[in-house]
Structure 1
Amino acid sequence: MTTTESGACSRAVLDEHLAVIDEMLAQPFPESRQADRTGHAGPDHRVRTLWYSRDFWDDEDGRAMHEADAAMSAHLDGLVAVFTDRWGDPLDVDLWSYLTAGYEDAGTPDAPEPVGSLCQLAVTLWVWTLPGRDRWLGLTIGQGDKELPLELLAAVGRGPAPAPSAKGD
């Protein structure tokens, strides 16, 4: 993980991210919920922060946030390109719909992990279903609050991938 905000994603950093994700894809899921400074995991999921920006407590004009968002997007774009080459186009999952579903219908169960935690941080999740495996991979950029760092997040889930956004959204 790094806090460098250099803009384009270097090959070395991209390779670092890919190594972490490949390890996540290969690891068994833990039997119980676990968390540390790099992410969290449970019986059906793993989430890791691959890269994070600085915080924005003193960013009154929003310039630092804009620069960090551009750098984070470059990292995400690099990863999306690699996984699109591997597995084809990703699903575009609207996480906002998972967040609001519980508010609109009190009878709607909470979204399963890792979508339940990701929808608290991000709006869109790029998802690939892994051929021949009961797993999916998701990538997103999230932020807990406007003063907090941006995070490039990778998630691996067991079972069917979250539903993609409806056409026309």
Structure 2
Amino acid sequence: MNIARCLDTIDRLCSRPFPAEHGWSDVGRGGPGYFMAEMAEWAAADPDRGPGEPTADDVEAFREGIAQRLDERWGERPPWAMLTLRVRAERGEEIPEPWASISTLAYDLRIWEAAGTGRWVALGVAQGDETAPARLLAVVTEVDPE
């Protein structure tokens, strides 16, 4: 996937109706008030990987390329750490979707309010461990992250 196609997917998700039920769609998971789309996946860093195969750092750089374009559209915002949400959930506080799910997958997010849509857009890099592929996730939701 390239940056232009990722931006196109985000734009489509900002205008598409949300699913009535939790489940899967053509872009990934979704439910009432949100979509969580897997934008790209790359193999994890591996000593046996071939030359030129992307690493988690490459996924992060790709995210920042998309983020730069979204900063130009909607204004620059600092990364938002997910640790606070994970701690709040561990203490029994109910965290709404999609924030509950994405907080367990990514360490931080880049988040924007998509002007004129009533929706929020977030980008995060999910990587479970050294053997799991790094994944670039995009969240589009009407649920305020605050």
The one-letter amino acid of 1:114's match is: P
What is the TM-score with the length of structure 2 in the denominator? 0.87
Q: Which runs of 5+ in 1 are unaligned?
A: 2-12, 164-169
CA deviations over 1:24-63 (Å, ceiling 9, x no partner): 111110111122584200011000010001146xx3699x
Q: Which runs of 5+ in 2 are unaligned?
A: none
Q: Which moved more, 1:91-100 or 1:45-54?
A: 91-100
Counterpart of 1:126 (choices 110, 115, 133) is 110
Match of 1:8 in 2: none
**Is residue 28–residue 38 contact of structure 2 (8 Å, CA) maintained in 1?**
yes
* Bigger Rg, which one: 1
Distance, in Å, in 1 between the alignment partners of 2:78 and 2:64 is 15
What is the TM-score with the length of structure 1 in the denominator? 0.76
**Is residue 139–residue 153 contact of structure 1 (8 Å, CA) maintained in 2?**
yes
Secondary structure, counterpart of 2:79 in structure 1: strand
CA deviations over 1:103-161 (Å, ceiling 9, x no partner): 2x23x12x21111111111111111012233210001111233321100010011132x
How far 1:98 moved relative to its partner?
0.7
Distance, in Å, in 2 between the alignment partners of 1:120 and 1:113 is 11
Structure 2 residue 10 is matched with structure 1 residue 26: no
Identity %: 27
Question: What is the root-mean-square deviation in Å for CA atoms of aligned residues?
Answer: 2.4
